[in-house]
Chain A
Amino acid sequence: MLQHIIFWLTQKRWLLFALAVGAVLLLLPVPSSMESMQGETMTDPIKAYRTMIIVIMAIILIIFEPVPLPAVALMMLFLQVILGIDDPNGVAKSFMNDAVFFIMGSLMMAVAIVSQGLDSRLALGIIRFTGNKTWRIAFGFVGISAFLSSFIGEHTVTAMMMPVGLTLIYNTSTDRDATKNLAALILFSIAYGSAMGSIGTPSGGGRNVIMIGYWQEFGLADISYLGWMRYTYPMLLVEIPIAVAILWFTFRPKQKVLDSAVRKLKVQVARRGAMTGQNILAIIVFLIVFLGWVFFSKKMGLGIIALIGVFLYLVLGLIRWSDLNRNTNWGVILLFGAAISIGLQMKETGAALWFANSAIDIMKNLSEDISILRWLIAVLLTGVLTNLLSNSATVAVIGPIVLNMGGDPIVMGFSTAIASAFAYLTVVASPTCMIIHSSGLVQRSDFLKAGWKMFIMSIVILFIMSKFWAVS
């Protein structure tokens, strides 16, 4: 019995640490900087302070995962009531909104689309587009992954591209040492291409929709689907060739041409047969959803349109509910809902404003130019947290802080949403990284090798874009 208790304690040490941190912070007095804000911008410093305590505890629990993530989500919700931040109905209202609908709908649509087996069509598309030179194939993987993920989300694309990439690698050689660099080049082209692409449109990732939701909720802006694309697509197009160059020079493979591997892939794809009516129908449904996003999202919301898409996939028999149920990440939906709820509380209680002011105060020695300073804080904070948490959870928590920092809320919001895609540094940074790592062909250390270059490159391009690319 004692042994079980000791084992439980060692396994849950980060849970105990988070609880201890929470308890100590609760016993400490509210920071004087928070008290002094009472009145004009902060309604109740105690509520604001307690909201920050929940955020700190949640971040510890999400990073170290001592308990299942849905449990963290539940904790974020009930603590709001227990600590007197809001009443139960208030918490419930902040938990469910269009961004959560979108995350739910897009995760379910991803399952429906991936199950169609469209990967062999993608394989043919890539080969036609690139030929058999390795660098062109890498370019094709980055380009197509980025393009597709900008519309249907990064995990969906990575899941579909993985078998195509692995087929090319194993067709080249089954000796892992011989294809070590080639495997890294192709798999990172898929993962990083998908991650980069997810900034392209609002439907590229749940975090984009979360940011649009915050803009609307706080009355700061109303960005349309195409309006978003106008801001982000130029950056995506600039990033693609640079990312290919970074990956190529980091993992320069021995094989400069993949002649026989490409030929074998063509034969394998031919054997899988032509596109079925079901495949075509699945694409048509997605196109309907896409057109809905472009033309009706302002009126109907991106989430509701995504749910219509799921409805169509189900009623047309393109996916069974049991498959959808099994492969949809319900826990993550709960967590993102809870993160958005706490994000809204941060704004409501003034905690976001307090954090924004404190961060600027602490870092004011770094630069005299306040606009650069607040931009830098937003991007670095998001970039670092997105590599430790998850990109949507990061935007949900950081969003209200950034939008309270002052400056142009559109530039700040876009910069935060875009920086949350810079999840290149660790395996746990995003499901795309975990998917390629689970192939066993790329090591944990490989992520840092190319990741830090991608991270710096992305920040520099984002800075240039933020400075010179105005949103109309």
Chain B
Amino acid sequence: MKFLIAVGSKEYSESTLRVGMQIAKSFQAAVTIVYVGPKISDFSLPHVRLAQERMEEWDFDRPGVEVLEWAFNFLAKNDYITSTTIESGFPKNTLVQTDGNRCDVYLQGTISTDVNLILRNGDIISELRDEVARGGFDVTIIGGSQKRRMAHDMIQYIDSSILIVNKYNPDKTYGLLLPVDDSRKTPQAVKYGVRVAQAFGIKVDLLTVSKTNKFGKGYRNAAKRAAKMMRRMGIEYENHFKHGDPAVVIRETAGNDHIIVMGTSTKNPIAKFFMGSKPLQVMESNPCPILIVK
């Protein structure tokens, strides 16, 4: 498994990094942390590069390096990187330019061998999309403090599962809400839900929502299979069957103390673009972290 964690700034991204690393640990995933700095227009790029070369001569870091250094310190403090890596300090000098607007540095991790720090400049969605395509990431993690439009575009255009760490409070006890139905993405969502529940040691609420009064065979079987999985993995769970509009019921059940894990919409991209989708509605209306599994 490969996780990509996008951090914005040290002020706002601590919970994104904390939650991301905690979940990555449960998956024993290779982690890449990326910071995307502002886009520099074509007019200015060579001039800015020239100015940055001068600044490096005077021992000033390229903007954004301080965010990677902060991420390094976080990893060191929480033992996510090996002691030898910690002792040698943040390897600023090995930050290698790998592309016109991308440079990276490798660290030795403890949960998996690779921890990679990347600095990019440009439009955030395009850069993350490019990074996901380049690195073949399974999950991309971003903070919830980002613009709503950005989270929307991430779900729409990034080709990996997306975790949006929205309004996460480390002092609060969370439950895990796992909506299940007969869609083909549910089994994958259940697998991810198990790992997240294990990472945080929390109870799972399995939720089956029907728009009518009846629950079809497919829905009942999905709930049954999810429950069996929870039992097998030794996770405390509860099954809920509710009626109504799925997005509304999920919002009411989740409140503000659940991490939501759900499968992505299987609608075609054009329908999603014009009409939205259930995960998008849930993401927009819920003040809690949400993992949308693709």
Interface residues of A (CB under 8 A from B): 2-3, 6-7, 10-11, 65, 68-70, 110-111, 114-115, 117, 119, 155, 158-160, 162-163, 166-167, 170, 268, 327-329, 331-332, 390, 428, 430-431, 434-435, 437-440
Contacts and interface: CB of A to CB of B under 8 A. Distances in A.
A70 B53 CA distance: 24
Given A6-B269, A69-B43, A390-B43, A438 B48 contact: yes
Interface residues of B, number: 33
Given A7-B129, A65-B41, A434-B44, A114 B270 contact: no
A431 B54 contact: no
A438 B53 CA distance: 12
B56 to A, nearest CB: 9
Interface string B111-134: 000000000000100100100000
Contacts of B269: 2-3, 6
A163 B54 contact: yes
Interface of B: 38, 40-55, 57-58, 60, 63-64, 123, 126, 129, 153, 156-157, 159, 268-270, 273
A163 B48 contact: no
Contact of B42 (A2, A331, A430): A331
Instruction: Give me the 9 closest cross-chain CB pairs, A-B, nearest first.
Output: A434-B44, A431-B47, A431-B44, A163-B58, A159-B51, A69-B42, A329-B46, A440-B63, A155-B47
Contacts of A162: 51, 54-55
A10 B48 CA distance: 28
Contacts of A65: 41-42
27 contacts: A3-B157, A3-B159, A6-B157, A6-B269, A10-B153, A11-B123, A65-B41, A68-B42, A69-B42, A70-B42, A158-B51, A159-B47, A159-B50, A162-B51, A163-B58, A166-B55, A327-B50, A329-B47, A331-B42, A428-B41, A434-B40, A434-B43, A434-B44, A438-B48, A439-B63, A440-B63, A440-B64
A170 B49 CA distance: 21
B157 A435 contact: no
Given A159-B51, A434-B44, 6 more contacts: A70-B42, A166-B58, A170-B60, A332-B42, A430-B44, A438-B40
B44 A435 contact: yes
A70 B45 CA distance: 13
A145 B64 CA distance: 27
Nearest to A436: B51
A14 to B, nearest CB: 13
Contacts of B42: 65, 68-70, 331-332
Contacts of B57: 117, 119, 163
B43 A332 contact: yes
B31 to A, nearest CB: 25
A434 B54 contact: no
Nearest to A3: B269
Contact of A111 (B50, B129, B156, B159): B50
For A166, A327, A428, A431, which residue has the most chain B Cβ atoms within 10 angstroms? A431
Contacts of B129: 7
B47 A435 contact: yes
A434 B63 contact: no
